[in-house]
Amino acid sequence: MPKKKTVLVVDDEVGPRETLRMILAPFYEVHTASDGEEALRLLAGKDIDLVTTDLKRPGLSGIEFLKEIKRYWPNMEVIIITAYGSLADAKEAIHYGAGAFISKPFLPQEIISAVEKILQP
Protein backbone atom coordinates (compact mmCIF):
# COMPACT_ATOMS: atom_id res chain seq x y z
CA MET A 1 0.00 0.00 0.00
CA PRO A 2 1.48 3.39 -0.94
CA LYS A 3 2.29 5.89 1.80
CA LYS A 4 -0.37 8.53 2.41
CA LYS A 5 0.52 12.04 1.30
CA THR A 6 1.06 14.48 4.16
CA VAL A 7 -0.77 17.79 4.63
CA LEU A 8 0.07 20.54 7.10
CA VAL A 9 -2.93 22.69 8.10
CA VAL A 10 -2.00 26.14 9.44
CA ASP A 11 -4.70 28.32 10.98
CA ASP A 12 -4.66 30.42 14.16
CA GLU A 13 -8.32 29.57 14.85
CA VAL A 14 -9.04 26.14 16.33
CA GLY A 15 -12.41 25.69 14.58
CA PRO A 16 -11.22 25.99 10.97
CA ARG A 17 -7.97 24.15 11.75
CA GLU A 18 -9.82 21.17 13.24
CA THR A 19 -12.46 21.22 10.52
CA LEU A 20 -9.77 20.96 7.84
CA ARG A 21 -8.00 18.23 9.81
CA MET A 22 -11.22 16.19 10.03
CA ILE A 23 -12.02 16.69 6.32
CA LEU A 24 -8.55 15.61 5.18
CA ALA A 25 -7.67 12.91 7.76
CA PRO A 26 -9.51 10.05 6.00
CA PHE A 27 -7.34 10.56 2.91
CA TYR A 28 -4.05 12.10 4.12
CA GLU A 29 -1.71 12.16 7.07
CA VAL A 30 -2.51 15.55 8.63
CA HIS A 31 -0.41 17.74 10.91
CA THR A 32 -1.60 21.07 12.30
CA ALA A 33 0.01 24.32 13.42
CA SER A 34 -1.50 27.45 14.93
CA ASP A 35 0.98 29.93 13.44
CA GLY A 36 3.63 30.37 10.76
CA GLU A 37 6.60 29.92 13.07
CA GLU A 38 5.31 26.59 14.39
CA ALA A 39 4.54 25.52 10.84
CA LEU A 40 8.06 26.35 9.60
CA ARG A 41 9.52 24.21 12.40
CA LEU A 42 7.26 21.32 11.36
CA LEU A 43 8.22 21.75 7.71
CA ALA A 44 11.90 21.58 8.64
CA GLY A 45 11.41 18.34 10.57
CA LYS A 46 8.76 16.41 8.63
CA ASP A 47 8.16 15.23 5.09
CA ILE A 48 5.16 17.41 4.08
CA ASP A 49 3.58 17.30 0.62
CA LEU A 50 1.15 20.22 0.87
CA VAL A 51 0.37 23.13 3.20
CA THR A 52 -2.97 24.86 3.70
CA THR A 53 -2.80 28.26 5.36
CA ASP A 54 -5.03 31.17 6.18
CA LEU A 55 -4.07 34.74 5.25
CA LYS A 56 -4.94 36.91 8.22
CA ARG A 57 -3.43 35.95 11.56
CA PRO A 58 -1.15 37.31 14.26
CA GLY A 59 2.58 37.13 13.62
CA LEU A 60 3.70 35.87 10.23
CA SER A 61 0.88 36.63 7.75
CA GLY A 62 -0.24 34.07 5.21
CA ILE A 63 1.56 35.82 2.33
CA GLU A 64 4.78 36.21 4.38
CA PHE A 65 4.48 32.53 5.33
CA LEU A 66 3.95 31.57 1.67
CA LYS A 67 7.10 33.51 0.72
CA GLU A 68 9.11 31.71 3.44
CA ILE A 69 7.85 28.32 2.28
CA LYS A 70 8.79 29.05 -1.32
CA ARG A 71 12.17 30.40 -0.25
CA TYR A 72 13.18 27.20 1.57
CA TRP A 73 10.95 24.64 -0.19
CA PRO A 74 10.34 26.01 -3.69
CA ASN A 75 8.44 22.91 -4.81
CA MET A 76 6.12 22.81 -1.78
CA GLU A 77 2.45 22.95 -2.72
CA VAL A 78 0.39 25.57 -0.86
CA ILE A 79 -3.34 26.28 -0.72
CA ILE A 80 -4.57 29.55 0.77
CA ILE A 81 -7.90 29.23 2.63
CA THR A 82 -9.26 32.49 4.00
CA ALA A 83 -12.38 34.34 5.09
CA TYR A 84 -10.83 37.73 4.38
CA GLY A 85 -9.53 37.33 0.87
CA SER A 86 -9.95 39.77 -1.96
CA LEU A 87 -9.15 39.48 -5.65
CA ALA A 88 -5.89 41.35 -4.95
CA ASP A 89 -5.02 38.83 -2.21
CA ALA A 90 -5.73 35.93 -4.57
CA LYS A 91 -3.55 37.45 -7.29
CA GLU A 92 -0.72 38.05 -4.83
CA ALA A 93 -0.95 34.51 -3.46
CA ILE A 94 -0.88 32.99 -6.95
CA HIS A 95 2.01 35.30 -7.88
CA TYR A 96 4.04 33.93 -4.97
CA GLY A 97 3.27 30.33 -5.83
CA ALA A 98 0.02 29.27 -4.16
CA GLY A 99 -1.61 26.42 -6.04
CA ALA A 100 -5.15 27.41 -5.05
CA PHE A 101 -7.06 30.14 -3.22
CA ILE A 102 -10.26 29.08 -1.43
CA SER A 103 -12.69 31.36 0.40
CA LYS A 104 -14.28 30.49 3.76
CA PRO A 105 -16.84 29.24 4.30
CA PHE A 106 -15.94 26.28 2.14
CA LEU A 107 -17.53 22.97 1.31
CA PRO A 108 -15.62 19.82 2.32
CA GLN A 109 -15.62 18.57 -1.28
CA GLU A 110 -14.07 21.86 -2.42
CA ILE A 111 -11.10 21.24 -0.10
CA ILE A 112 -10.74 17.58 -1.02
CA SER A 113 -10.91 18.37 -4.76
CA ALA A 114 -8.29 21.13 -4.54
CA VAL A 115 -5.87 18.93 -2.55
CA GLU A 116 -6.40 15.95 -4.86
CA LYS A 117 -5.86 18.08 -7.95
CA ILE A 118 -2.62 19.56 -6.64
CA LEU A 119 -1.23 16.28 -5.28
CA GLN A 120 -2.12 14.02 -8.19
CA PRO A 121 0.94 12.39 -9.73
pLDDT-derived band at 1, boundaries 50, 70, 90: low
Strand partners, 78: 51
Helices in 46-86 by DSSP H: which ranges? 62-72
Please name which of 44, 54, 48 lies closest in space to residue 93, comparing C-alpha atoms: 54
**Predicted pLDDT of residue 108:** 96
The answer to whether position 111 is within a domain reads no
Per-residue model confidence as pLDDT tens digits over 35-91 = 999 999 999 999 999 999 998 888 888 899 999 999 999 999 999 998 877 888 889
- Count of structural domains, the chain: 1
The answer to whether position 118 is within a domain reads no
| Residues 56/84, Cβ–Cβ less than 8 Å | yes
The answer to whether position 113 is within a domain reads no
**Predicted pLDDT of residue 56:** 84
Whether pLDDT at 92 is above 80: yes
The CATH number of the domain holding residue 25 is 3.40.50.2300
